[in-house]
Copies of this chain bind each other. A is one copy, B any other.
Amino acid sequence: MHSSPPAGQHTVRRHNCALVLRAISAAPGISRADVATRTGLAKATVSSLTERLARANLVTRTGPQSRAGRGRRGTGLALSTSGPHGLGLEIGVDYIATCLADPHGELHAHRVRHGDNRPRSVRQVLALAARAVRTALLDAGERGVPVGGVAVAVPGLVEAATGLLRTAPNLGWQEVDIAQSLRARTDLGTLPIVPGNEADFAASAELLSGGGDGPRDFVHVSGEVGIGAGIIIDGAVFRGVRGYAGEIGHLGVDPTGPECRCGARGCLERLAGQEQILRAAGIDGDTAEQELEILLRRLEAADPQTVAAVEAAGRWLGAGLANVVNAVDVPAVVLGGTYAILQPWLERPLRAELDRRVLSATWSPITVLRSRLGSEAAVRGAAAAAVRAILDDPEPYVAARERGTG
């Protein structure tokens, strides 16, 4: 069947390589003959591609297949667990985290270094981030697995086409080439290093956490120092035209509201962010963790001022999310990060605003869910994205290994 003009040899091989790996990933233990049937590729092509995938340790042989048959038994093929891992790095406002994801998406070696990055210079933070990457590479070495790519979660706007961090308001960063900086300070060589918005990575981690059974259309909102949203439509991150979609921290919801560091008034972050909740609750501790602990203790004791502070944040968050839902049309909201922890107090006022402000809620109320992932969602999502990028398009990794540069 000819369905489109013939593509270049290179493109065809790349496409077929991905096709074969996808077939193996979808049916662990599959024979080469069955891969040929499923992909429509010639058996010889499948054999040569699986040979290359096996040499790059993306695919492993699972021993003779159990089904009886005449002649030589087929060899079962599966994704190799010791194949290339994804390295996730998160540069947060007050921590730096790393972890590894294996080809099955399982996480390993999760590490968090707490410490406020705001008073540090960009150079200092990037040096700390590079050190965290080097440690993660040692973790991978100890496990005897290679790292195939790095994804970096940052609390800011990353231009999709270039990977450039344009702005991270809560870090005070502008125009930072994170990939270049990390490459200069580590042994990552030519491995892909892909920065992205932390909220997008957190949303994709939430998507994966359902194991394919969870919702495939939602906005995931998390509140730490800033407020970030990642939008998932039809099982994929919706990034908008340039990569900046889901910037909800600076949605304007109250024209007479307090001034924001961005220069505008009444931004959602100033009304429903963690700092505002703590301020309204009259909590002033030494560290963010300590303050959050006090907040929770008072909420559980039903302290009126604290409950009122969280409920007010819930109303503002609902008003902001209603704007997002009216603009983008997603049927569900997932509360992540600190909002997941505050969900018992936050949800009722939030839901009331959604019901009141979302036009479609009349016949189809917005579902409000609570993330199961906690504050590590973004770094998990980054690691999973890094390994997913290799599995979706394995040829560059395979070719680099063949050249001895991977």
Contact = CB atoms under 8 A, between A and B. Distances in A.
B40 A360 contact: no
Among the interface residues A248, A250, A359, which one has the most CB atoms of the partner chain B within 10 A? A359
A405 interface: no
B326 A5 contact: no
Contacts of A169: 359
A322 B42 CA distance: 53
A295 to B, nearest CB: 24
Interface stretch (A68-76, A99-107, A135-143, A252-260): A252-260
Interface in A208-254: 217, 229, 231, 233-234, 239-248, 250-254
A242 B245 CA distance: 19
Interface in A1-28: 1-7, 12, 15-16, 19
Interface string A27-67: 00000000000111110000000000000000000000000
A263 B358 CA distance: 11
Interface stretch (A78-86, A115-123, A327-335, A393-401): A327-335
A241 B359 contact: no
Q: How many monomers of this chain does the complex have? A: 2
Given A12-B1, A362-B167, A328 B245 contact: yes
Among the interface residues A2, A217, A246, which one has the most CB atoms of the partner chain B within 10 A? A2
Contact of A6 (B1, B19, B240, B253): B1
A319 interface: yes
Interface string A372-405: 0000000000000000000000000000000000
A331 B357 CA distance: 26
Given A251-B327, A319-B252, A157 B360 contact: yes
Given A40-B3, A157-B360, A357-B250, A329 B233 contact: no
A229 to B, nearest CB: 8
B328 A252 contact: no
Contacts of A328: 240, 245, 327-328
23 contacts: A1-B2, A1-B12, A2-B39, A3-B4, A3-B19, A6-B40, A157-B359, A234-B241, A239-B329, A240-B330, A241-B329, A242-B329, A242-B360, A244-B360, A246-B327, A248-B326, A250-B326, A251-B323, A251-B326, A252-B319, A252-B323, A253-B255, A264-B357
Interface of A: 1-7, 12, 15-16, 19, 38-42, 157, 166-167, 169, 175, 217, 229, 231, 233-234, 239-248, 250-256, 262-264, 319, 322-324, 326-331, 356-357, 359-360, 362-364
